[in-house]
């Protein structure tokens, strides 16, 4: 599902953000990516979501080589993945339902089908009563749940989440992790980056640990 081989990423400076990264995540796995701030977690995730290309090496996600995507094909690649960020990235001037619907809207699905799917998903997440509200009207934990709903509505094979609990208190963080685990239980490959060791320790999952741009541990 996700495959890194001999991946290096060097920013101008030069900053060696990633060095010789090599790992593989199979379909249906739940994996944590840990490491201190500046270890290279976001850099690695940006490559999985095709926001960046490796300086050298190969990144393969859902059958696509990131290096071979261009400005036209990248859109179709992103429809195969779901991405969640620390800062939610919701559209402030759209209702929650409209936000969740976005991946289907850009694909041009009929509105009726979209409404039906959005209602189903918001129901599952216990957010149906808020669907006509705007992001500013709900709490951070709820916003993150909406963002996760948006990342799942088009049923991607893989969901990646970069510090999804970074802005949330421990209680809400646990709830978000529970949600991600249930998403995984339904078959979606889930890859979560976090620097919160406590959170990781409580769940018996595979952990890949980064430090200084290198993998220092893979619990596989």
Contacts of other proteins in 80-139 (CB under 8 A): 83, 89-91, 93, 102-103, 106-107
The distance of closest approach from Cβ of residue 43 to ligand ADP in the complex, given in angstroms and rounded to an integer, is 3
Sign of the Cα pseudo-torsion (19, 166, 196, 157, in order):
negative
Q: Does 164 bind ligand ADP (CB under 6 A)?
A: no
- 118, exposed or middle or buried, with CB in 10 Å at 0-12, 13-18, 19+? buried
The distance of closest approach from Cβ of residue 197 to other proteins in the complex, given in angstroms and rounded to an integer, is 25
Q: Which does 39 bind (CB under 5 to 8 A by kind): other proteins, ligand ADP, Mg ion, none?
A: ligand ADP
Give whichever of 30 and 45 is closer to Mg ion, judged by the CB atom. Answer: 45
219 backbone dihedrals φ, ψ, rounded to 5° = -80, 10
Q: Does 42 bind Mg ion (CB under 5 A)?
A: yes
Q: Does 43 bind Mg ion (CB under 5 A)?
A: no
Closest among 32, 121, 49, 38 to 89, alpha carbons compared: 49
Residues 89, 43: contact at Cβ < 8 Å? no
Q: Does 41 bind other proteins (CB under 8 A)?
A: no
The distance of closest approach from Cβ of residue 50 to Mg ion in the complex, given in angstroms and rounded to an integer, is 17
Length of the chain: 220
Pairing relation of β-strands 15-25 and 2-11?
antiparallel
Give whichever of 102 and 174 is closer to other proteins, judged by the CB atom. Answer: 102
């Amino acid at each position: 599902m996700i495959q890194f081989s001999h991946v290096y990423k060097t920013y101008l400076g030069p900053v060696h953000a990633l060095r010789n990264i090599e790992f593989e995540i199979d379909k249906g796995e739940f994996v944590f990516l840990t490491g201190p701030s500046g270890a290279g977690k976001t850099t690695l995730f940006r490559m999985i979501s095709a926001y960046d290309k490796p300086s050298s090496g190969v990144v393969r996600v859902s059958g696509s080589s990131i290096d071979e995507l261009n400005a036209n094909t990248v859109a179709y690649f992103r429809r195969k993945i779901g991405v969640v960020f620390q800062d939610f990235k919701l559209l402030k001037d759209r209702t929650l339902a409209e936000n969740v619907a976005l991946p289907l809207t850009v694909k041009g699905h009929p509105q009726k089908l979209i409404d039906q799917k959005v209602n189903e998903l918001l129901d599952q997440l216990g957010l149906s009563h808020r669907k006509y509200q705007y992001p500013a009207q709900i709490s951070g934990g709820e916003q993150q749940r909406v963002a996760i709903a948006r990342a799942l509505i088009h049923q991607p094979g893989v969901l990646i989440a970069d510090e999804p609990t970074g802005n949330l208190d421990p209680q809400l963080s646990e709830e978000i992790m529970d949600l991600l685990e249930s998403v995984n239980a339904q078959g979606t490959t889930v890859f979560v980056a976090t620097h919160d060791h406590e959170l990781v320790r409580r769940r018996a999952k595979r952990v890949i640990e980064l430090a200084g741009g290198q993998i220092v541990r893979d619990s596989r």
